[in-house]
Chains A and B, each alone.
Chain A
Amino acid sequence: MSEEDEFKKSYDRQYGDIELLKRFWRYLKVYKKYLLFIIVGILATAVVTILPPAMVQSAFEALADRTKPFPQAIDFMPTSLFLWKFQINLWRAVYPYAIGYVLLSLFLWLAQVLLGIVVTIVSQRIIKRIQMETYESLQEHDLMYFDTQSTGQIMSRITNDSQELNDMINVVSQFVANFFILFAVLIWMFVVNWRLTFITLGMAPFVFIVAFFFRRITRLTTGKWRAAIGEVNASFQESVAGISVAKAFGREKKSKEEFEVINQATFYHAKKRAFAVMGIWPLMDGISTIGVFGITLYGSWLFFGGLASSDVILLFLLLLNRFLYPLVRVASQFSVIQSGFAAMERIFSIADAKKEITNPANPVSKELHGQITFEDVYHQYVQGELVLKDINLKIQPGESIAVVGHTGAGKTTIASLLMRFYDISKGSIKIDNVDIREYDLHNLRSQIGLVSQDVFLFSGTVLDNIRYGNPQASLSEVQKVIDIVSAQEFIDALPDGLETELGERGKGLSSGQRQMVSFARTLLTDPKILILDEATAAVDAYTEWKIQEALDKLLADRTSIVIAHRLTTIKNADRIIVLDQGKIVEEGDHESLMKDKGLYSELYETYFKHQSAEWISEISDVFTD
């Protein structure tokens, strides 16, 4: 589905061609010298391409009409032959053309080789630069951008679209050459024999009609084919991702049957497309045959009427395909250039996406003490949907704050805002009395540690992952954080311990284990401010309790914000903040909040109570029915 959309989109553009070309020129102009070489090379090649027929024609004429005087030197111009009027032997008459032919062929070959090399070098460098710039800009983008774009789309821009751009660069150079050849041949034919030129020219409309018609059905059938391929890929991907479920339910056979249906549909569309794609060249060949037929018949009629010599007929036969084929190519290459432009636009769209969160002009860099102040903070991700309202909060250095509330109350948003993943809509967040927007982003983020509920590990070893934020950490430092998060036991059980390779997203570890690694990774950066967003939700209660004990010491001189659903964690905090629909509704310690009988005691009833002993006996009735 998305493939088809993508395909349609490629013909629906926002930027003008000129604007795109201007931007593309920025990359091209770096290689001005190479470019000059390419242009000269293309033009020279175009000229040389049409010259061999002239050699053949001249040699033929010299041999056909042995009564005429022969030239002594090489003369490339077919219409102004025989300037020297003295008789020499036959061989001397034709060998210049033959040698000319050899030299021209060699020159052509050499030119193609050199052009091929230079175009490759230039295009590969440009592609690399565009990819790199796109990637760099991606790294600077707001997280909002990633929230709205699919991974597949972003990747396709950097890989597929830049490949399409590469194709376009190659095609453009041919396009220019073909265009040039087309005109050169046309003028030449007119000069030699205008009557026969009409036969050749008469083929052009057919060429255009066929090219136009086939391009349309090719585009149509290709769209459907690509969409079908998209479905095959999606189905394949999902089957592999859900392989354990398929195995557990013994659904392999059924999955195969379903896959066969989709695969068969792709084959059907591929066949339809093949009909269109493969039809065009034989038809062009047919048109060319009509041309040959016409030239020979009309040519010999002219010959017998004394209006054309046989070498002219030969020349026209030789020139026919040199005229028709560039015509077809120009017509078909046009669409490659079109989609190249579209690819260019898609790539540039990444760099063009607006960045809101950037380093300030005079960034503050300093060591944080950890005093955090939220002043009248409002935030919305989507216009009109306030996630946080009127948040006022002062956290002292070293203080530990627990944030509780229903799902969607805005707890995670507080963490994201403090990290400056998003900029707040109104108000200000200050750390040590400096607005976080005035800090150097690098300086700010590197001193705040976030352990988020959504764990992402990289492929690589467990050790690599723990050291991600602090690659220079010594093994004893690593050991320390491993002990704090109680990860030693499971790491020992891994096949290669710390050196065990993990798959993508930390495949190979359970969700609880991944959380422990992620926790250790953050602790290793020794952050001044620590945000734990459901950091141990998937870890069993006992391990969590052990982590909690170990953390208490560590957190003594650090500011920490803990978002949790486990009662013990919350009880340990210096202060509990209760959030409801984006607002702070209560604040205090466990005992006082319970006495207030407000939202906290309500939350306690729904969320925390069932972690206590009474609940265990209360719930027992469901098992004893």
Chain B
Amino acid sequence: MGYKRWFLKHLLKEKLLSTILLVFLLVFIGTVSITPLFIGNIFNELASESGSFKSIMSIALFIAGAGVIRAVADFTQSYANEVLAHKITKNVTEEFYEDMLEKSQEFHDRIRIGDIMARATYDTRQMNIFISPGIKFLFEAAFTLLFSVSLMIWISPKLTLLLVAALPFYIIAMYEYNKKLRPISKAQMEQNSLLNARLQESVTGIRVIRAFVKEEKEINEFDDETDKLRDINTRRGILSARYYGVVVTVLIIAFSFLWGLYEVINGDLSLGYLITYVFLMMTLMMPTWQIGWGITQFQIGMAAAKRIFEMKEREEYVPESSSPIEWQSKQGTISFMNVSFSYNGGSSRKKALSNINLEVPGGSTVAIIGNPGSGKSTLIKLLMRLYDPTQGSIFIDGVNIKDILLSNLRDHIGVIEQEVFLFSKSIRDNIAYGKPNATKEEIEEASELAQAHEFIMGFEKGYDTIIGERGVTLSGGQKQRIAIARALLVDPSFLILDDASSAIDAETERKIQTAIANVLKNRTTFIITHRLATIKHADLIIVLRNGLLKDSGSHDELILRNIDYRRLFERFSELPPMTTMEEN
């Protein structure tokens, strides 16, 4: 399905609104075109011998009646159009939102939030404007042309010749305008979002710019970008101006007046109908403007639709199995079989993980250690199915995780991320994020276990304290404990704890360690941490280096044989001599 069909699908879904729009639009245009006829009749009456105030009065009443119908119809169609536009905007935004939530982590790692937001805000707005008043304008213009021109032909058939002769020129002009406008509209949108991204970066990164004295570079680059935008905008403005009203229509209108006069003199046309003619010609001015505007906005709106659609359609989600199964909590044994992974859909030249074979008994604590880039986070991401392995498989209790219902799998896995993300909501809402119907007692119990209850109660509003820009700023240690509470409340079968070491005092350190110890009980846990005490007490320690599993075992085993592992501890204490030489 292309973006055009996607857009059309949304449009056609609103049948009632579209029908109202169309029906009242026809009534509106009908009354607009008929009024000049009444006006013409008035002048025929005035000119004729038999004309009387009474007969004129009755025509005037017709004009008034048509006017009332016209106003009501115009309002109804405009309102229906506007509601239609907003309804579609709402539907599209919702659909886009849902799609964005479903996209894989890899997608979100690569796509800037700004790019997504530009589509959610600016592009949906442009689509909205195209629908209302764009679509209305185009239809109005088409029907006005049809009605008014038919009436004119009825009044003077010879006029048809002039119109038919002029029509191809008009169509060619519009076609050209359309063709020239398309690349400009596209460039304009791209340049706009580029400029926004630049601006955002230079404002948020202002300290770095200052520290490196790069103001001039930033200014020069911004100058280039704004220059480009100015040129594009100017080109677009000039193009619109050049096709303003299109000289062909101007000439048609003017020449048909000339023609009309000629016919009156020849006796083919009454004077009153010449006036009808003049008024009909005036109704033709609006459509030429409307068509120009409508086409411009059509371009912009469709380019916006394309941008939204293309981002929606990027197939970058982890595929659900065709017949997914529900995993029930059993032993929780996890095994990695020959797992390899490289980023960018396997096309990357470097393997982030290669040939990992691993067996983790249910309920054990696994500490993963390794230098930055050794593949610690990747291992975890594969387990959560944020990505699928390029080769090999991961099993839970013998079931390939690819066969497990995605939502079911993630329900069973709790995560405490390295960079804790909290929503700008209350602390309560944040802790209850994974279990919105949790009771007050449950939330407080989880907080107690996470060693967070105390500091939360220290806030004036306790659990109702709002976090983030509009509220309280939390320290790294506090955020981490809230994240632990959030994970504990869900009580997952597996837990992943990506623990960034942060500089904290001993008391907080003790609390965090206690919280972690609480977390470890009764579930299979993977921990990435620099906290040596935690590592030391893990049931299984995995040593990764450059994507390879170098060693695994308990503290007592590794301290004797693994050089990478010994390095962690050697600066702190005397170690027993190594017994085994490290392989390779």
A and B part of one assembly: yes
In B402-445, which residues have CB < 8 Å from any A CB?
407, 410-411, 413-415, 417-419, 421, 423-424, 433-434, 436
Q: Is B457 interfacial (CB-CB < 8 Å)?
A: no
Tell whether A98 pairs with B257 under 8 Å between CB atoms, given A239-B100, A245-B421, A613-B573: yes
* Size band of the interface chain B makes with A: 35 or more
Segment touching B, from A14-22, A40-48, A113-121, A592-600: A113-121
Tell whether A124 pairs with B233 under 8 Å between CB atoms, given A267-B87, A459-B201: yes
Contacts of B74 in A (CB 8 A): 281-282, 285
Nearest-Cβ distance from residue B86 to partner chain A, whole angstroms: 4
B225-268 contact mask (Cβ, 8 Å, vs A): 1 or 0: 01101100110011011101101001101110110011011000
In A532-563, which residues have CB < 8 Å from any B CB?
534, 537-543, 545
The 8 Å CB contact of A606, one of B410, B436, B506, B546, is: B506
The 8 Å CB contact of A255, one of B101, B241, B501, is: B101
Q: Is B454 interfacial (CB-CB < 8 Å)?
A: no
Q: Is B323 interfacial (CB-CB < 8 Å)?
A: no
Nearest-Cβ distance from residue B8 to partner chain A, whole angstroms: 21
Q: Is B39 interfacial (CB-CB < 8 Å)?
A: yes
Q: How far is the CA of A71 from the CA of B444 in the complex (A)?
A: 98
Contacts of A619 in B (CB 8 A): 509-510, 513, 533
Segment touching A, from B63-71, B142-150, B165-173, B179-187: B63-71
Contacts of A543 in B (CB 8 A): 371-372
In B278-297, which residues have CB < 8 Å from any A CB?
278
Instruction: Say yes or no: B219 contacts A623, CB within 8 Å.
Output: no
Tell whether A271 pairs with B375 under 8 Å between CB atoms, given A113-B241, A248-B415, A421-B207: no
Q: How far is the CA of A242 from the CA of B81 in the complex (A)?
A: 36
Q: How far is the CA of A192 from the CA of B530 in the complex (A)?
A: 93
Nearest-Cβ distance from residue B256 to partner chain A, whole angstroms: 10
Instruction: Say yes or no: A155 contacts B501, CB within 8 Å.
Output: no
Contacts of A270 in B (CB 8 A): 82-83, 86, 89
Q: How far is the CA of A289 from the CA of B31 in the complex (A)?
A: 12
Tell whether A106 pairs with B421 under 8 Å between CB atoms, given A98-B261, A143-B206, A504-B113: no
The 8 Å CB contact of A99, one of B87, B258, B414, B533, is: B258
Tell whether A105 pairs with B250 under 8 Å between CB atoms, given A121-B234, A568-B571: yes
Segment touching B, from A5-13, A27-35, A55-63, A375-383: A55-63
Contacts of A158 in B (CB 8 A): 199
Nearest-Cβ distance from residue A482 to partner chain B, whole angstroms: 12
Q: How far is the CA of A153 from the CA of B75 in the complex (A)?
A: 37
Contacts of B67 in A (CB 8 A): 285-286, 288-290, 292-293
Contacts of B64 in A (CB 8 A): 289-290, 292-293
Q: How far is the CA of A361 from the CA of B230 in the complex (A)?
A: 35
The 8 Å CB contact of B503, one of A232, A450, A505, A566, is: A566
Tell whether A263 pairs with B513 under 8 Å between CB atoms, given A282-B74, A300-B56: no
Do most interface residues of chain B lie in helix, strand or loop, or is the interface mixed? Answer: helix
Instruction: Say yes or no: B265 contacts A237, CB within 8 Å.
Output: no
In the complex formed, the residue of B with least CB distance to A303 is B46
Segment touching A, from B102-110, B154-162, B302-310, B329-337: B102-110
Q: Is A445 interfacial (CB-CB < 8 Å)?
A: yes
Q: Is A609 interfacial (CB-CB < 8 Å)?
A: yes
Q: How far is the CA of A304 from the CA of B52 in the complex (A)?
A: 8
Segment touching B, from A130-138, A198-206, A327-335: A130-138
The 8 Å CB contact of A296, one of B56, B112, B251, B572, is: B56
Instruction: Say yes or no: A503 contacts B87, CB within 8 Å.
Output: no
Q: Is A256 interfacial (CB-CB < 8 Å)?
A: yes
Segment touching B, from A390-398, A506-514, A583-591: A506-514
B31-61 contact mask (Cβ, 8 Å, vs A): 1 or 0: 0000100010011011100001100110111
Segment touching B, from A77-85, A181-189, A309-317, A426-434: A309-317
Q: How far is the CA of A112 from the CA of B384 in the complex (A)?
A: 62
Q: How far is the CA of A152 from the CA of B87 in the complex (A)?
A: 27
Instruction: Say yes or no: B372 contacts A124, CB within 8 Å.
Output: no
Q: How far is the CA of A521 from the CA of B241 in the complex (A)?
A: 49
B494-523 contact mask (Cβ, 8 Å, vs A): 1 or 0: 000000111111110110011001001000
What are 27 A-B pairs at a CB distance below 8 A? A60-B271, A94-B261, A95-B258, A124-B230, A127-B230, A128-B230, A135-B222, A239-B101, A242-B421, A248-B384, A249-B486, A263-B97, A275-B79, A283-B75, A293-B67, A300-B60, A310-B43, A448-B211, A468-B212, A492-B350, A495-B344, A504-B200, A516-B372, A522-B211, A540-B372, A541-B501, A623-B520
Known: A292-B35, A541-B501. 10 other contacts (CB 8 A): A105-B253, A124-B237, A135-B226, A277-B82, A293-B63, A448-B211, A456-B207, A511-B500, A534-B503, A541-B568
